Amino acid sequence: MRFIHAADLHIDSPLQGLDGYEGAPVERLRGATRQALVALVDLALERTVDLVLLAGDVYDGNWVDFRTGLFFREQMLRLTRAGTRVFVVKGNHDAASQITRQLPPIDGVHEFSSSRSETVDLPELGVAIHGRSFPNRAVPEDLVPSYPAPVPGRFNIGLLHTSLTGREGHDPYAPTSVDALADKGYDYFALGHVHAREVVQESAPRIVFPGNLQGRHARETGPKGCELVTVEGATLVSAEFLALDVVRWHQLHLDASALDGLDALARCFRTQAAALAEGTRDRLHALRVLLHGESPLHRIEAGQPGTLAAAIQAAALDLDDAEVWIEEVRLDLRSPMDRAAVAARTDAVGEVVRLVDALASDEAQLAAWFRARLSELGTLPGAMAGADPAQLDAAAIRALLADAEATVLARLSDTQPGGGA
């Protein structure tokens, strides 16, 4: 007997804000959740899988229209017509109270009740599946105590949408513990809700979050997919993770300390981006690039803001064997200088450095100065128009101050004979 365990499909997740990215492959990104499900169904048919278990959040919320439900139904029919049965529990995003539109049920697709836990016994496969759907978006209680006892002589699977003991970035829904799961006497717990893959426990029972099927933004990085599990008799003999994502998100950290110009930046980026895409050239790679360190690049950016992002985007176009889209370039750079020597100067350059050092040495003074300058501005600059300055911490304010210093010093250098700080 072979089954697939997947979760958190979030079909037609809206991926808001993409229109604000010039050149973004918007349609491809928005279609990624659908194409990942198609890949899952293709895999199930190719491997002659007996069961597909979906541990919640098939949908991202109430459908905008029926096309979302019809697409899912079409894919389920592909499975059931081939003899593959599907078992689903609803999670917080697609709870019984969340999805208001309805389509006819599908023979061979079992959706577990939201009012009680239940068991489906499949003696022909030697497996029993236990589960319960979320009745509402927020489920604060532990559902595990209500799950039925294991069926003797079967490979018992618990299908559960849960935060377990809590995971960063995920609401604490249907909380429970590893001990509570183990006490049920099942062989496998197929979990959902947490978007990062995690093998919580290897055996007795095996407890797994497969992660979501398709990453949706730059915080959901790395391979995404499903678990493929093989059982012989009542014994698990193999379990493997298979990547099914069609868009893979990355956060690429580039240390600019050794980079002295745009050519060096481009070479460094191409090398590391190509390494990320190695062996996975059949998908789009979406990169958030974080450029950090003490580097002359800071002065280049200060002299002409946007130069470094444009250089990285240009370098991405030069990658022949990988399809890469730059989602964003974030900078945390400092200009190399002997601050003590520059601060000792009696000209405007020295005055700027002394002012910055004085402000940065006292968090309260820095915050007060920052708020005062913002009040003088009235309307925030375009890059900060959507931000709440009151929420910025001292580190963020210092980074803005460093950028401002670099910009002023670059302009002062341009006005002085010989230039340079």
Taking only the tens place, the pLDDT of each residue in 147-204 is 999 999 999 999 999 999 877 777 889 999 999 999 999 999 999 999 999 999 999 9
Give the pLDDT score at 381.
54
Does the N-terminal peptide bond of residue 205 adopt cis geometry, omega within 30 degrees of 0?
yes
At 419, the pLDDT band (50, 70, 90 cuts) reads very low
pLDDT at 385 over 70: no
Give the pLDDT score at 299.
87
Encode burial over 358-372: b for 16+ CB neighbours within 10 A, e otherwise.
ebbeeeeebbebbee
% of the chain surpassing 90 pLDDT: 64
pLDDT at 221 over 90: yes
The CA-based diameter of the chain, rounded to the nearest angstrom, is 88
- Averaged pLDDT of the chain: 89
d(CA 324, CA 330): 17
Give the pLDDT score at 16.
60
Torsion angle, CA of 270/271/273/276, rounded to 10 degrees? 160
For 279, residues 6+ apart whose C-beta sits below 8 A from its C-beta are none
pLDDT at 22 over 80: no
For 184, residues 6+ apart whose C-beta sits below 8 A from its C-beta are 130, 144, 147, 149, 150, 156, 158, 205
For helices 363-377 and 394-415, angle between their N-to-C axes, nearest 10 degrees: 70
**Residue of 82, 89, 47, 88 lying closest to 230 (CA atoms):** 47
d(CA 413, CA 177): 61
CA distances (Å), 370 to each of 233, 366, 394, 404, in order? 68, 6, 10, 12
- C-beta atoms surrounding 376 within 10 Å: 7
d(CA 72, CA 174): 25
At 17, the pLDDT band (50, 70, 90 cuts) reads low
Give the pLDDT score at 418.
46
Residue scoring higher pLDDT (336 or 284): 284
Record the tokens describing residue 392, joined without a space. Answer: 């910025």
pLDDT at 413 over 80: no
Rg (CA), the chain: 27
Helices (H), 333-393: 339-343, 348-360, 363-377
Cα dihedral sign for 176, 178, 184, 187?
A: positive
329-383 pLDDT tens trace = 999 888 887 788 888 888 888 888 888 888 888 888 888 888 887 777 666 555 4
CA end-to-end distance (rounded Å), the chain:
71
Give the pLDDT score at 380.
58
How do beta strands 118-122 and 127-131 pair? antiparallel
pLDDT at 421 over 70: no
Q: Tell me what the mean pLDDT of segment 15-21 comes to.
A: 63
Q: Tell me what the mean pLDDT of segment 393-419 comes to.
A: 71
Domains and CATH numbers, the chain: 2-243 (3.60.21.10), 246-336 (no CATH), 338-421 (no CATH)
25-34: long-range contacts at Cβ-Cβ below 8 A with a sequence spacing of 24 or more? 25/284, 25/325, 28/247, 28/284, 29/247, 29/284, 29/286, 32/214, 32/216, 32/245, 32/246, 32/247, 33/9, 33/60, 33/213, 33/214, 33/216, 34/71
Record the tokens describing residue 317, joined without a space. Answer: 């176009």
d(CA 206, CA 200): 8
Global confidence as pTM: 0.84
Give the pLDDT score at 18.
64
Q: Tell me what the mean pLDDT of segment 51-74 comes to.
A: 95
Least reliable range by pLDDT among 37-41, 136-140, 363-367 = 363-367
Least reliable range by pLDDT among 251-260, 330-339, 381-390 = 381-390
Give the pLDDT score at 339.
80
Phi, psi of 127 (to 5 degrees): -135, 145
Is there a contact between 92 and 138 (Cβ–Cβ < 8 Å)? yes
Give the pLDDT score at 243.
97
DSSP states of 43-101: HHHHTT-SEEEEES-SBSSS-SSHHHHHHHHHHHHHHHHTT-EEEEE--SSS-TTT---
How do beta strands 51-55 and 2-6 pair? parallel
Is there a contact between 5 and 229 (Cβ–Cβ < 8 Å)? yes
